[in-house]
Amino acid sequence: MDVAHHLEYKMWQIVVIMLVGMLAEKDAIEITHNNGLPLRFDTQEICYDHVYKNIDMLKQYASSQFDGAPVKTIICTKLPFGV
């Protein structure tokens, strides 16, 4: 495993879980970029700090990707998560 790939496993990312019906193809979205830049965090604490500072924007974006469905929860998880 190369160094860049190994470091990615120590990074954190934002995952928004949606409130959708049981028949939905998927119920979550990984937030991978912000304004074209990769969005990864060194610690879970830094990740959640970003979530709290940008909660409205994250909810609005995720809802727009799920035809207006509401957000159920937002979590920070280690990479790779794989929604």
Query: Looking at the domain assignment, is residue 8 inside a domain?
Result: yes
The string of pLDDT tens digits covering residues 36-59 is 999 999 999 999 999 999 999 999
Query: Looking at the domain assignment, is residue 83 inside a domain?
Result: no
Helix (H) or strand (E) holding 22: none
- Tokens 């965090």 belong to 41
Overall number of domains in the chain: 1
The string of pLDDT tens digits covering residues 57-81 is 999 999 999 999 999 999 999 987 6
Give residue 50's domain range.
3-78
Query: Looking at the domain assignment, is residue 7 inside a domain?
Result: yes
Query: What count of other Cβ atoms lies within 10 Å of the Cβ of residue 74?
Result: 20
The structure's pTM equals: 0.84
